Amino acid sequence: MLFNIQRYQPEAASAQQVGAQNATYWQEMTLDDALVKPGMMLLDALKLLREQDPTLSFRSSCQEGVCGSDAMQVNGRNRLSCITPLAELSQPIELMPVPGLPILRDLIVDMTLFFDRYAQANPTLNAGKFNPDQEHLQSPADRAKLDGLYECILCACCSTSCPSFWWHPDQFLGPAALLAAERVVIDSRDIQPKQRLEALSDPYQLHRCRGIQQCTTSCPKGLDPSRAIRQLKHQQWTQS
């Protein structure tokens, strides 16, 4: 099985290693077909490749698509390596870090900006006063409105495939953060949805979304950030 991987090894380059004049380069790697078992995921293959070359760097943790560690660009599409079946991929399998964030080493990018935008979106519910004897009531219908919003794993597949986020990562919140914003705005328990919508009324944070829908296409959890963004805009409009 053939791989073509975009490497970035800044230390090796600065140490002037043979063959590493450039910190960024492409490397072909081969995985013995005998090692490829049915049902294997891309992450399993990457771990085997790392046995060939321990410097090959990528993040991973849960290995089942719930922690959001291992987003990467696979044959041109942002995916989680741990739930991407090898059998689906045409060879050579081309791997790159997700675009738009600073690359730190090989497939590892700096997530600071992404998490900063998430915090800026104020994703924290404010349910008012706490009553230790009784939960806030919420009808099943109101609870159902959160489905498709709360399941986000903050993998950044969406935001790093969004052209608006590439160009304005410091001003446009990006689809993941906006999905989180909508998740609280629409929660029947929240006591300040109006203020939240107002806080997003400047030309950038929300309104830089151009509705290109790349985000929705690339979400590995099948969520629809683009729809959440439309809802936010609509709520803002009906309110004013």
Partner 1 sequence: MTDNTNTGHNTPAHPTNSSLTTHQFDVLIVGAGGAGLRAALELQRAGKQVALVSKVYPTRSHTVAAQGGINAALGNISEDNWHWHMFDTVKGSDYLGDQDAIEFMCQQAPRIVRELEHFGVPFSRLDDGKIYQRPFGGQSQHFGQSQATRTCAVADRTGHAILHTLYQQNLAAGTQTFSEFFSLDLLIEDQQVTGLVALEIATGQLHQFNANAVLLATGGAGQIYRTNTNASINTGDGLAMVLRAGLPLMDMEFWQFHPTGVAGRGMLISEAARGEGGLLRNSLGEAFMVNYAPKVKDLASRDVVSRAIATEIHHGRGCGPNKDYIELDLTHLDAELIKQKLPGIRDISLTFTGIDPIEQPIPIHPSCHYMMGGIPTNIHGQVMTQTNGENYPVAGLYAIGECACVSVHGANRLGGNSLLDIVVFGKAAADHILSRPAEVCTTKTPAPKAINPALLKRMQAFQASRDTEIPNDANNDDSVVSFKRDLQQMMQRHCGVFRDQATLAAAKPMLEQLAQRLKTLRVQDPAQGFNLERIQAFECENLLAVAWATLESALARTESRGAHARDDYPERDDQAWLVHLLFFMQPHITLKQKPVQMQPKTVAPFPPIKRVY
* Residues found near ligand FES in the complex (CB under 6 A): 60-63, 65-70, 80, 82
Taking the least distance from each CB to ligand FES, the nearer of 152 and 184 is 152
Query: Shortest distance, CB of residue 179 to ligand FES, whole angstroms?
Result: 17
SS3 3: strand
Does 2 participate in binding partner 1 (rule CB under 8 A)? no
CA pair distance 111, 123, nearest whole angstrom: 17
Pairing mode, strands 71-74 and 93-96: antiparallel
Does 199 participate in binding partner 1 (rule CB under 8 A)? no
Q: Cα 168 from chain centroid?
A: 16
Query: Shortest distance, CB of residue 223 to ligand FES, whole angstroms?
Result: 14
- What, of partner 1, ligand FES, ligand SF4, none, does residue 140 touch, CB below 5 to 8 Å by kind? partner 1
Quote the tokens at residue 36. Answer: 């490829």
Does 185 participate in binding partner 1 (rule CB under 8 A)? no
Q: Cα 117 from chain centroid?
A: 12
Exposure of 126 by Cβ count < 10 A (0-12 exposed, 13-18 middle, 19+ buried)? middle
Contacts with ligand SF4 by CB under 6 A lie at: 152-158, 162, 164, 175-176, 179, 209-215, 219, 221, 223, 225-226, 229
